[in-house]
């Protein structure tokens, strides 16, 4: 349940701080202004006073600092790294020593700029600050807490290790141990503790270490993070609560003094509110995804791209009588009526497919908009936004749509350009341009998923590799010049029954990451799954992304953190993405209760590998098997003599002697144990004791027999409410067994480490969502 947001204190004071800085022709705060902002926010700051250029520090003010030593810092809008130019000094707290040091600093710092290309700095004076005595705890002594208004996700808040070596240390920590990242608009206060707990320093600070007491309460850490979160949400381009936006703010470091967090250094950069709102186009998708009529241009009498698309539309059963082809000189093509020009369309079509070259798109779009002849458009247009010189075409189309919407005219929503098209099973059409003999149409037996992909080729490759995972909708977004990933996820998630929504994203339009995360959270709330693969993570990948689909790839760590906090499963590799396409729908309806895993196999090496794979970044634990469960398993194994070969412990090694009934019985006993929250079941199928092959003349096995291991496991896993995956570590000979179990809704993997990593990530996400 969404909690009522606690109002943030001090926003009026902070607004005035920004106003004064803006009046001084600055879009950033000086350090003493950052301290003032923190105090307005309710965060303690060091005691300080400001000595203007030409003034002196007084004994009274120095005495009020209350420390024997003080810190002097030069104040200038042009000097960011003060220590690099001699702009930081530590001196004893006496009026004579302080004023001598101030005089020296005001003389020496400007001298550093003499003879350089840089203009002399505008020095305002010197900040006189108490020297904070803080607990030196080694690792975790200094923390960073910051805000960044990201292009894709709006304001995000981060917490991690601080100090001079922050980048070096964080690069070497395991994932999710270095930095906590949360959306200012999506994260709730009651979720913050779960976000901070995995951090490498968290337990050391809040629980103590090696006999030392806790140096900080968890409530103080949570409160600091939450105040920054509410500050970011208030001064956000998406809240419109202030005339200002915090673009970036950071304290590095916070240190610990007497159980409190004290900032030692900070910065803040701000801007005026700017336009971020884009029209929500999702409701107009009804026409695109479920059209009553389709128009198409670019169809030749011979086989070309447009004709391929027309063939694919007809193959999916869309009625010929409701298709109009813009083609001068012909009465019909393939039984579909032709008209000479866009203006001659006898009606406003629900969907218009534009298959012409990029340089012809503006003209056609202008005609469609002016004559109000289409409610939606799929713009194929290869090269649009990729090839140098085509950026202007996109911008012209965007201006055309914006002007028409501003004038309240009928304006089509546009998918693309540079896309491969859309497949809509409910709409009975396919506008992709892959021939049927290259990529057969789905058989439409078991539509479990929705694809929303920026790359059409990525989408087609998944169709080809995973034909058993059939699509309800498959959308190739292309450049997202109008419709975006969030529009589709929002609409389809509200109107479709698919259990899985899988997305391939290269880059986001401004703010669309935030909108996508909101749509994903709503889908997950309904008990469905959202799967994301985000490319463009490296500098090289981001460069390729901008040239591929004309989107700007953002910070991957932010994307992953916020999509995961929304409940999405973010795949790190293509293999993980493809495995999840089959596994996530199979786990629908299962209950995530905890991290205690039961591991069971009939091979010792597999048990060792399973145990080694537990600590895979998601901190799974070996369940302690209850004594009644041990007794039950011993009774199952006794007739085969296995109880004399192995002790009953987790991982449970049943040896190759275990037959179908014994193996299945032990799995059922393990899953019935109250100490077990989930399981990986890994039968090595080469054993002669189990039926794992399809019928053949050379043997009497039948994996389809109800008495064989496959059907037995299917029934047991179907009945349990706990998440279970099967690992089948064997070659192609055992593909029929894997296919049979997978077809019956069992998540099947072919490597133990991949099985456990998937289950760990699934459980981690489930526990976060349940907080």
Q: Mean pLDDT of all residues in the chain?
A: 90
User: Kindly report the CA angle at 556 between 552 and 559, in degrees rounded to 5?
Assistant: 90
Q: What percent of the chain has pLDDT over 70?
A: 92
Q: Round to whole Å and give the CA distance between 487 and 283.
A: 8
How many angstroms separate the Cα of 536 from the Cα of each of 33, 458, 496, 545? 37, 14, 29, 6
On the question of pLDDT at 386 being above 90, the answer is no
What's the rounded Cα separation, in Å, for the pair 582 and 600? 22
Confidence band of 141 (pLDDT split at 50, 70, 90): confident
Q: pLDDT category, 551, cuts 50, 70, 90? A: very low
- DSSP-derived letter for residue 703 is T
pLDDT of amino acid 615? 78
pLDDT at 586: 92
Helix (H, G, I), strand (E, B) or coil at 310: helix
pLDDT of 550 > 60? The answer is: no
For 268-286, what is each residue's pLDDT tens digit? 999 998 776 677 888 889 9
Q: Residue 5 in 3-state DSSP?
A: coil
pLDDT category at 210 given cuts 50, 70, 90 is confident
Residues 683-719 have pLDDT tens digits of 999 999 999 999 999 999 999 999 999 999 999 999 9
- What pLDDT, on the 0 to 100 scale, is given for residue 548? 38
Report how far residue 481's alpha carbon sits from residue 479's, in angstroms, rounded to the nearest whole number: 6
Q: Let me know how long the chain is.
A: 771
- CB under 8 Å to 407, separation ≥6 — which residues? none
- The torsion angles phi and psi of 87, rounded to 5 degrees, stand at -95, 15
pLDDT in tens, 727-746: 999 999 999 999 999 999 99
Vertex 50 angle, CA 45 and 55, to 5°: 165
DSSP labels, 529-566: EEEEEE---SHHHHHHHHHHTS-B---HHHHHHHHHHT
For the chain, percent of residues with pLDDT exceeding 90:
75
**Residue 630: band (very low, low, confident or very high) from pLDDT cuts 50, 70, 90:** very high
Q: Is the pLDDT of residue 547 over 60?
A: no
pLDDT of 140 reads: 73
Residue 440, classed as helix, strand or coil, is: coil
pLDDT of residue 79 exceeding 90 = no
| Beta carbons within 8 Å of 275's beta carbon, 6+ residues apart | none
Q: Which residues contact 468 (CB under 8 A, 6 or more apart)?
A: 446, 582, 739, 742, 743
What is the separation, in whole angstroms, between the first and last Cα of the chain? 11
Residue 446 has a pLDDT of 64
What CA–CA distance (Å, rounded) separates 374 from 287? Answer: 10
Q: What gap in Å lies between CA 188 and CA 757, rounded to an integer?
A: 27
Q: Are 337 and 319 in contact (CB under 8 A)?
A: no
> Is the dihedral angle over the CA atoms 485, 488, 489, 490 positive or is it negative?
positive
Per-residue pLDDT at 115: 64
What are the two backbone dihedrals, phi and then psi, of residue 238, each rounded to the nearest 5 degrees?
A: -105, 0
Cα dihedral sign for 127, 130, 133, 134?
A: negative
- Rounded to whole angstroms, how far apart are CA atoms 386 and 394? 11
495 vs 169 pLDDT, higher one: 495
In this structure, the dihedral spanned by the alpha carbons of residues 659, 665, 670 and 673, taken in order and rounded to 10 degrees, is: -160
The reported pLDDT for the residue numbered 169 is: 67
Q: Are 338 and 375 in contact (CB under 8 A)?
A: no
- E strand intervals along 45-120: 48-52, 69-75, 88-92
Q: Please state whether beta strands 422-424 and 429-430 pair in parallel, antiparallel, or not at all (unpaired).
A: antiparallel
Query: For position 546, what pLDDT does the model report?
Result: 45
Burial 434-450 (b: 16+ CB within 10 A, else e): beeeebeebeeeebbbb
Using the predicted structure, report yes or no on whether residue 232 has a pLDDT greater than 50. yes
What tokens appear for 607 in the block? 């048990």
pLDDT tens, residue by residue, 14-38: 999 999 999 999 999 999 999 999 9
Residue 608 above 80 pLDDT?
yes
Q: What is the DSSP letter of 138?
A: S
d(C-alpha 702, C-alpha 282), whole Å = 50
User: How much is the CA Rg of the chain, to the nearest whole Å?
Assistant: 32
For residue 365, the SS3 value is: helix
Binned at pLDDT 50, 70 and 90, residue 598 comes out as very high
The residue behind tokens 């001090």 is 10
- Max distance between CA atoms of the chain, in angstroms, equals 102
Q: Tell me: the pLDDT tens digits for 33-70?
A: 999 999 999 999 999 999 999 899 999 999 999 999 99
Q: How confident is the model over 211-217, as a mean pLDDT?
A: 85
Distance CA 565, CA 585 (A): 20
Lowest-confidence pick of 161-170, 309-318, 330-339: 161-170
Q: Which residues contact 537 (CB under 8 A, 6 or more apart)?
A: 553, 556
The pLDDT of residue 588 is above 70: yes
What average pLDDT does range 310-339 have in this prediction? 97
d(CA 265, CA 31): 7
Cα separations in angstroms, 673 against 304, 432, 637, 677, 714: 62, 50, 17, 9, 19
pLDDT tier, 162 (very low <50, low <70, confident <90, very high otherwise): confident
If we measure between CA atoms, which residue out of 645, 649, 600, 603 comes closest to residue 627? 649
pTM above 0.85, yes or no: yes
- How far is it, in rounded angstroms, from Cα 657 to Cα 642? 7
Is a pLDDT exceeding 70 seen at residue 118? no
């Amino acid at each position: 349940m969404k909690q009522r947001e606690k109002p943030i204190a001090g926003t009026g004071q902070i607004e005035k701080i920004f106003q004064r800085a803006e009046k001084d022709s600055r879009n950033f705060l000086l350090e003493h202004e950052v301290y003032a902002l923190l105090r307005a926010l309710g965060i303690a700051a060091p005691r300080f006073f400001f000595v203007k250029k030409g003034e002196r520090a007084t004994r009274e003010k120095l005495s009020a600092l209350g420390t024997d030593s003080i810190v002097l810092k030069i104040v200038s809008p042009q000097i960011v790294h003060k220590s690099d130019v001699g702009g930081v000094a530590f001196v004893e707290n006496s009026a004579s020593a302080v004023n001598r040091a101030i005089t020296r600093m005001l003389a020496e710092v400007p001298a550093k700029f003499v003879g350089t290309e840089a203009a002399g700095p505008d020095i305002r004076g010197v900040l006189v600050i108490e020297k904070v005595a803080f607990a030196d705890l080694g690792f975790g002594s200094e923390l960073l807490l910051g805000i960044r208004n990201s292009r894709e996700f709006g304001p995000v808040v981060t917490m991690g290790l601080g100090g001079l070596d922050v980048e070096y240390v964080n690069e070497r920590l395991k994932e999710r141990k270095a930095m906590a990242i949360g959306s200012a608009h999506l994260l709730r206060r009651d979720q913050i503790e779960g976000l901070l707990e995995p951090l490498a320093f968290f337990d050391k600070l809040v629980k103590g270490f090696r006999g030392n007491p806790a140096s900080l309460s968890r409530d103080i850490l949570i409160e600091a993070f939450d105040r920054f979160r509410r500050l970011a949400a208030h001064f956000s381009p998406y809240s419109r609560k202030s005339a200002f936006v915090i673009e970036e703010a950071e304290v590095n470091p916070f240190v610990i003094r007497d159980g409190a967090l004290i900032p030692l250094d900070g910065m803040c950069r701000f801007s005026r509110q700017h336009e971020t709102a884009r029209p929500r186009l999702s409701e107009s998708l009804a026409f695109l995804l479920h059209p009553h009529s389709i128009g198409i241009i670019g169809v030749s009498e011979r086989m070309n791209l447009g004709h391929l698309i027309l063939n694919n539309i007809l193959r999916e059963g869309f009625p010929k009588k409701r298709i109009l082809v813009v083609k001068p000189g012909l009465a019909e093509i393939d039984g579909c009526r032709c008209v000479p020009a866009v203006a001659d369309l006898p009606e406003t079509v629900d969907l218009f497919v534009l298959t012409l070259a990029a340089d012809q798109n503006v003209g056609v779009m202008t005609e469609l908009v002016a004559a109000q002849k289409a409610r939606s458009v799929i713009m194929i247009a290869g090269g649009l936004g990729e090839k140098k010189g085509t950026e202007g075409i996109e911008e012209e189309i965007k201006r055309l749509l914006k002007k028409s919407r501003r004038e309240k005219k009928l304006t089509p929503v546009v998918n693309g350009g540079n896309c491969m098209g859309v497949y809509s099973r409910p709409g009975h059409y396919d506008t992709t341009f892959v021939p049927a003999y290259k990529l057969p149409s789905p058989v439409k037996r078991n539509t479990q998923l929705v694809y929303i992909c920026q790359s059409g080729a990525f989408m087609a490759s998944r169709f080809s590799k995973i034909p058993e995972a059939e699509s309800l909708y498959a959308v190739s977004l292309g450049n997202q010049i109008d419709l975006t990933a969030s529009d589709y996820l929002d609409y389809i998630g509200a109107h479709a029954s698919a259990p899985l929504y899988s997305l391939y994203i290269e880059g986001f339009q401004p703010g669309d990451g935030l909108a996508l995360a909101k749509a994903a959270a709503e889908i997950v709330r309904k008990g469905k799954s959202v799967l994301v693969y985000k490319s463009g993570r490296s500098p090289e990948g981001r460069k390729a992304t901008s040239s591929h689909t004309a989107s700007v790839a953002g910070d991957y760590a932010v994307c992953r953190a916020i999509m995961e906090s929304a409940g999405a499963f973010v795949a790190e590799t293509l293999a993980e993405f493809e495995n999840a396409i089959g596994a996530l729908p199979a786990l629908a309806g299962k209950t995530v209760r905890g991290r205690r895993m039961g591991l069971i196999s009939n091979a010792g090496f597999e048990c060792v590998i399973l145990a080694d794979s537990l600590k895979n970044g998601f901190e799974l634990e070996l369940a302690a098997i209850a004594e009644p469960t041990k007794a039950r398993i011993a009774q199952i194994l006794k007739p085969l003599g296995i109880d004399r070969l192995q002790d009953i412990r987790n991982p449970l090694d049943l040896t190759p002697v275990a037959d179908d009934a014994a193996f299945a019985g032990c799995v059922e006993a393990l899953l019935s144990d109250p100490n077990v929250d989930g399981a990986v079941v890994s039968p090595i199928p080469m054993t002669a004791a189990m039926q794992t092959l399809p019928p053949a003349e050379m043997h009497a096995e039948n994996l389809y027999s109800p008495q064989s291991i496959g059907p037995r496991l299917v029934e047991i896993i179907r009945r349990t409410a706990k998440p279970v995956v099967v690992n089948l570590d064997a070659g192609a000979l055992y593909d029929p067994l894997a296919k049979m179990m997978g077809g019956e809704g069992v998540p099947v993997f072919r490597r133990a480490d991949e099985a456990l990593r998937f289950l760990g990530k699934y459980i981690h996400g489930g526990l976060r969502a349940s907080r």
